[in-house]
Amino acid sequence: MLNRIDLRGSTEDPRRLLPRAAIDVSVATEQVRPTVEAVREHGAAAIREASLRFDKVDVKQLRVPKEEIERAEAELEPAVRAALLESIARARKVHEDQRRTDTTTVLAEGGTVTQRWLPVGRVGLYVPGGLAVYPSSVVMNVVPAQAAGVASIAVTSPPQKDTGLPNANILAACALLGVDEVYAVGGSQAIAMLGYGFTDEEPGCEPVDMITGPGNIWVTAAKRMLRGTVGIDAEAGPTEIAILADESADPRHVAADLISQAEHDPLAASVLVTTSTELAAAVDAEVARQVAATKHVERVTEALSGPQSATVLVDDVEQGLRVVDAYGAEHLEIQTRDPRAVAERVRNAGAIFVGAWSPVSLGDYCAGSNHVLPTGGCARHQSGLSTQTFLRGVQLIEYSYDALQEVAAHVVALSTAEDLPAHGAAVKVRFDA
């Protein structure tokens, strides 16, 4: 089922040869532009029109009533409640440990620079609700924002056709996290709503300072449009998994993990990088067997047989490391001998899952790590969502008379070298008699 790419003996740049989903966000941006601009100009009325046109849902009230959120929590299945509470607890422990502390550096007596870390004031968190619904994404977005100290959090998720509300498990997750500002809005209109707000309906929506959370290409395109008006976490593409494995890997585990990501979306990418032709053949056989027994057969089959998925043969683990670094996977599993040593040599990945007992599915729900991660090779220059995402570094510079006088000549010299004499004069005037 998986395509086969043989890189053994190759000296070419792996980035030219590796599979990748073809996504053109620039084209999608032009397609969502009218919707985003309509929301900016017409607020709630445009949001309703877009929801009816794209989601086929006539939303009665954009902001979900508090009693509906409370009802969803009250009716939550006990096993799901327990799982969400465990997920929240583990994520909170990890993300609170990520909180940075302020530091003060003394450059001279009376001259200091203090690095403060201040939370974003208000954030909007997008939770997908299309082919699948993701209460786990509520956890992954809300927990780090709360750990950072964000004071105002709004969650938005697409309305379901049968209720006109976001999925009940998503609402319940919001309740468990203490979030009561939730909107039944999805797609590009949701991103525009968060970025521009609306006041033509009560209760309105205040614009946010930052938008985070994964979504489809229309959500990504709208986030690109609003970048600068608000901060964004990333332009998320289809999910992806890469597995670096040698002959010691269990083909059942490898096949199951490739399939687990493929069930997200027909464009999801599942890539096996292996030193073993025997493992590759065994994985192919396991994939065929396990796919036949899985629920979303058509979706999984399309993803695994698409151009974005493949088995990549390499000479050895050294070449395998070069290949996975070039790929920069959202999720990377290491299923080799001494997997921790191999994992510590990886440079580019959103998250690295070490050994046979750390599958990506664990990270999706209950590892304590965050599952909102860079896709499309962006892990080569970008981090996943964390407490740091919601913090801004602000410097406090405080110098006394003596400390400024000590460095004044250097400031004047550099301002003269850059032909900006007024910069130097702003220092010299402080010491004129």
- Residues with active-site annotation: 330-331
Does 364 carry a binding-site annotation? yes
CA distances from 339 to 25, 244, 245 (A): 36, 10, 9
- In degrees to the nearest 10, what's the CA dihedral of 10, 16, 20, 23? -170
Tokens for 255?
């096949």
Does 296 carry a binding-site annotation? no
Listed residue (231, 85, 227, 203) closest to 145, CA to CA: 231
Listed residue (323, 262, 315) closest to 287, CA to CA: 262
Tokens for 348?
């580019």
Cα 19 to chain centroid distance, Å, stands at 21
**CA angle (190 as vertex; 124, 182 as ends), nearest 5:** 55
Tokens for 396?
């406090």
Does 24 carry a binding-site annotation? no
Does 169 carry a binding-site annotation? no
Handedness of CA 84, 267, 332, 234 (dihedral sign): negative
421-428 helix and 401-417 helix, angle to the nearest 10 degrees: 160
Does 233 carry a binding-site annotation? no
Does 264 carry a binding-site annotation? yes
CB neighbourhood size of 342 (10 A): 22
Tell me which DSSP letter residue 164 carries.
S
- Phi and psi based region of residue 276 (left: phi greater than 0; alpha: psi -120 to 50; beta: remaining): beta
Does 261 carry a binding-site annotation? yes
Does 253 carry a binding-site annotation? no
Residue 375's Cβ-count burial label (10 Å; 0-12, 13-18, 19+) is: buried
Tell me which DSSP letter residue 211 carries.
E
**CA angle (358 as vertex; 352, 359 as ends), nearest 5:** 85
* Residue 370: half-sphere exposure toward Cβ, Cα within 13 Å: 28
Q: Which residues are annotated as a binding site for substrate?
A: 239, 261, 264, 331, 364, 418, 423
Q: Which residues are annotated as a binding site for NAD(+)?
A: 126, 189, 216
Q: Which residues are annotated as a binding site?
A: 126, 189, 216, 239, 261, 264, 331, 364, 418, 423
